[in-house]
Amino acid sequence: MQIAIEKPDQPDVIELIDDLDAYQKPLYPPESHYGIDIAALSAPNVLFAVARDEAGMAIGCGAIVMEPGYGELKRMYVRPERRGQGVADKVLAFLEREAMTKGCALFRLETGVSQPEALSFYARSGYARRERFGRYPEDPLSVFMQKDAG
């Protein structure tokens, strides 16, 4: 497996994002969807990582949006058939390292109450629940988490 910073507007990466959206849309009402689109993932303040298998197929992705004072984790996804193989761990560690080289010392995220696997993954990865942050509205379906770098 290889992980690198890549452009999100590639067909196989767009397919990953579409799969993530298809997974999340039935879990929450439209007003509780906070994912960012391909254009936003292409912004200069975004680190977008893609994990590829030995054949070069995109099997996972994730992003960190570099905000003043913190980096926000967005769009973490691993193809279902590749889960349980450490892909998410490696993508997250890669993104955190890349962000730290750019001076990021704090990571935050928003995920949902209907994603117990994600909540467990982030807790195992050192993220702790925190209060709402940024421009997120009050939403009982949201869970906010944070981790100090290092």
Q: pLDDT tens for residues 33-51?
A: 998 999 999 999 999 999 9
Share of the chain above pLDDT 70, in %: 99
Amino acid at 121: F
- In the chain, the domains with their CATH numbers are 2-105 (3.40.630.30)
Instruction: Give the pLDDT confidence of 74-91 residue by residue, as tens digits.
Output: 999 999 999 999 999 999
Contacts 24+ apart (CB under 8 A), 144-148: 144/108, 144/109, 144/110, 145/108, 145/109, 145/110, 145/111, 146/70, 146/106, 146/107, 146/108, 146/109, 147/106, 147/107, 147/108, 148/105, 148/106, 148/107
Please name the helix (run of DSSP H) or strand (run of DSSP E) that holds residue 146, with its range, or none. strand 142-148
Q: What is the pTM of this model?
A: 0.95
pLDDT exceeds 70 at position 150: no
Q: What are the tens digits of pLDDT across the range 48-66?
A: 999 999 999 999 999 999 9
For the chain, the 3-state helix, strand and coil shares in percent, each to the nearest 5, are: 35, 30, 35
* CA-CA-CA-CA torsion sign (64, 66, 67, 69): positive
Whether the per-residue pLDDT at 96 is higher than 90: the answer is yes
Q: What is the pLDDT of residues 103-112, one digit of tens each?
A: 999 999 999 9
